[in-house]
Amino acid sequence: MNPRLRWKTRAFAAIVILSNAFGNLSLTWGLRHGAEELTASPVSFLRAIIGPWVSLGICLLIAWMISRMFLLSWADLSYVLPVTAFGYVLNALFGRLFLGEQITPARWSGTLLIMAGVILVGLGNPHSEGHTGESS
């Protein structure tokens, strides 16, 4: 694989993983500390969004969405999905460290399996065909 493409792919995969994990943490923290309980009413969602932690979480998740979109402009979906799944491991760790959630042995085993899958797919080529696209 082209070294430039490999570097760019890894950098964007890291941005996708970190923005998603920190975004989810911030969102969950905000929803559990201070935000009122969500109901079917859109007003309750809007009130929750105004909170600082929820707002930060939303900004990070927008960054996640855009960086993932860019990554998908050259990497296959079937490559991006398993590689960025390392974020699930980070989410589990954040849940344990910051939200006081219990991580069972089954969850730790799951973490190891995900890491094995990520490493396996990450060693391969991010795109399987010569899609050149239209622009930029």
The single residue among 2, 3, 43, 123 that binds another protein, judged by CB under 8 A, is 123
Q: How far apart are the first and last CA of the chain?
A: 21
x-or-dash string of contact with another protein, 21-60, rule CB under 8 A: ---xx-xx--xx----xx------x--x------------
The single residue among 2, 3, 43, 77 that binds another protein, judged by CB under 8 A, is 77
Cβ distance to another protein smaller for residue 19 or 87:
87
Scan residues 79-118 and list those touching another protein (CB under 8 A): 79-82, 85, 87-88, 91-92, 94-96, 99, 101, 103-104, 106-107, 109-118
DSSP assignment of the chain, as one string? --HHHHHHHHHHHHHHHHHHHHHHHHHHHHHHTTPPPP-SSHHHHHHHHHSHHHHHHHHHHHHHHHHHHHHTTTS-HHHHHHHTTHHHHHHHHHHHHHH-----HHHHHHHHHHHHHHHHHHTS-S-SS----S--
Residues that bind another protein (CB under 8 A): 24-25, 27-28, 31-32, 37-38, 45, 48, 61, 65-66, 68-70, 72-74, 76-82, 85, 87-88, 91-92, 94-96, 99, 101, 103-104, 106-107, 109-118, 120-121, 123-124, 128-129, 131-136
